[in-house]
Structure 1
Amino acid sequence: MMFTFVFPGWEGSASDSRVLQDALSRSTGMKIPTGYYYLVDGGYTNGEGFLAPYRGTKYHLSEWRDGYTLVNHEEYFNMKHSSTRNVIERCFGLLKLRWAILRSPSFYPLKIHCKIIVVLSSAQSY
């Protein structure tokens, strides 16, 4: 439960892939360690260093409740992927829970708000 890279400042309407490409293209940007992968949601495609869930296959943990039996390796992968992504979402929830300033719209200038996000996300004592 640790943030390894924080890249604030993009508008919420920007596409995820556009933000990712910008983060990867910067000299001080996001680096993917050789042999490791980041989990990405269904809006991305699989690529070097990125694992997306299988499309058209059950994904959300709620779809496996009530004794559902996994049918194939794709459902198994998606179940594990979804479970791990839930941990990621919980990290964001804990960050907002700990820092009230992140729970509501900010009235600070964008440059200041970006700095606030970086500082708070690096204060990792969950």
Structure 2
Amino acid sequence: MPITIKSQIEGYRRAGVAHSKTPVTHPDGTFSETQLAQLEADPRITLTLDAATDSSDSNATNSGAMDPQRLAELVAHINQLDKDNPSLWMDSGAPKASSMPNGTSAAERDAAWDALVAQLDAEG
């Protein structure tokens, strides 16, 4: 499935590709499983799996779709993080992967962060 990648550093290289601060969508099959793991583990990279183009896979990590219970748990976890501890947060304001529960993928962290931001925006 297509994957959108955004780097915190213009031209930052990971998985054999120079990445941009501007989100770039790569077609399905561009990256191997090893490269995807590298991208997900890198805190300087934000990646989003485009679930809208491939809903056949029900695995939350691979399809971008997340179980609502899991999403709620991760949003609650982010809410409990110490907002004054810079070691838990990226420069963008999103939580670092290392501040999330073990086994949380970058895509899950990003989905939870997006859900929390949307919730806060709705509250005004």
Confirm or deny a common fold (TM above 0.5): no
TM-score by length of 1: 0.30
* TM-score, scaled to structure 2: 0.30
Q: Flag the structure with larger Rg.
A: 1
Structure of greater relative contact order (alpha carbons < 8 Å, 6+ residues apart): 1
Q: Which has the higher strand share?
A: 2
